[in-house]
Amino acid sequence: MKANSFHACATCIHFQAKKAKKGMQYRCQRLGFDTRPNYQFNCWTPKDHVKKLMTKRIEERKDESCS
Protein backbone atom coordinates (compact mmCIF):
# COMPACT_ATOMS: atom_id res chain seq x y z
CA MET A 1 0.00 0.00 0.00
CA LYS A 2 1.33 3.44 -0.91
CA ALA A 3 1.71 6.01 1.85
CA ASN A 4 -0.19 8.57 -0.23
CA SER A 5 -3.20 6.23 -0.50
CA PHE A 6 -4.21 7.83 2.81
CA HIS A 7 -4.33 11.28 1.20
CA ALA A 8 -7.90 12.51 1.41
CA CYS A 9 -9.67 15.43 3.04
CA ALA A 10 -11.20 13.20 5.74
CA THR A 11 -7.70 12.35 7.02
CA CYS A 12 -6.54 15.99 7.18
CA ILE A 13 -6.30 18.04 10.37
CA HIS A 14 -8.32 20.83 8.72
CA PHE A 15 -11.31 18.65 7.77
CA GLN A 16 -14.54 19.44 9.60
CA ALA A 17 -17.75 17.42 9.49
CA LYS A 18 -20.96 18.91 10.84
CA LYS A 19 -24.46 17.53 10.91
CA ALA A 20 -26.84 19.89 9.14
CA LYS A 21 -30.59 19.82 8.53
CA LYS A 22 -30.05 18.48 5.01
CA GLY A 23 -27.42 15.90 5.97
CA MET A 24 -23.71 16.20 6.61
CA GLN A 25 -21.67 19.28 5.73
CA TYR A 26 -17.96 18.81 5.08
CA ARG A 27 -15.66 21.81 5.16
CA CYS A 28 -11.97 22.58 4.93
CA GLN A 29 -11.12 24.96 7.76
CA ARG A 30 -7.86 26.06 6.10
CA LEU A 31 -9.26 26.74 2.62
CA GLY A 32 -12.62 27.98 3.87
CA PHE A 33 -14.93 26.10 1.53
CA ASP A 34 -17.02 22.95 1.31
CA THR A 35 -15.31 19.72 0.37
CA ARG A 36 -15.95 15.98 0.35
CA PRO A 37 -14.22 13.32 2.49
CA ASN A 38 -12.51 11.70 -0.52
CA TYR A 39 -11.30 14.91 -2.21
CA GLN A 40 -7.57 15.65 -2.31
CA PHE A 41 -5.72 18.96 -2.18
CA ASN A 42 -2.00 19.77 -2.13
CA CYS A 43 -2.28 21.42 1.28
CA TRP A 44 -3.07 18.09 2.99
CA THR A 45 -1.74 17.72 6.54
CA PRO A 46 -2.51 14.24 7.91
CA LYS A 47 -3.93 13.73 11.39
CA ASP A 48 -1.59 12.16 13.96
CA HIS A 49 -3.25 8.74 13.86
CA VAL A 50 -2.96 8.71 10.07
CA LYS A 51 0.76 9.54 10.28
CA LYS A 52 1.24 6.62 12.67
CA LEU A 53 -0.64 4.26 10.38
CA MET A 54 1.37 5.42 7.37
CA THR A 55 4.62 4.82 9.27
CA LYS A 56 3.42 1.38 10.35
CA ARG A 57 2.56 0.40 6.76
CA ILE A 58 5.95 1.60 5.51
CA GLU A 59 7.71 -0.43 8.20
CA GLU A 60 5.65 -3.51 7.30
CA ARG A 61 6.71 -3.18 3.66
CA LYS A 62 10.36 -2.88 4.69
CA ASP A 63 10.04 -6.04 6.81
CA GLU A 64 8.42 -7.92 3.89
CA SER A 65 11.19 -6.93 1.50
CA CYS A 66 13.87 -8.14 3.95
CA SER A 67 12.31 -11.60 4.21
What distance in Å separates the CA atoms of residue 40 and residue 19, rounded to the nearest whole number? 22
Give me the residue spans of the domains in the chain. 3-66
* pLDDT at res. 62: 84
Q: Strand locations in 1-67, DSSP E?
A: 15-20, 23-28, 33-34
CB 17 within 8 A of CB 8: no
**67 confidence band (pLDDT: 50, 70, 90):** low
Residue 51: count other Cβ atoms within 10 Å of its Cβ: 14
3-59 pLDDT per residue, tens: 478 899 999 999 999 999 999 999 999 999 999 999 999 889 999 999 999 999 989
**1 confidence band (pLDDT: 50, 70, 90):** very low
Q: pTM of this prediction? A: 0.77
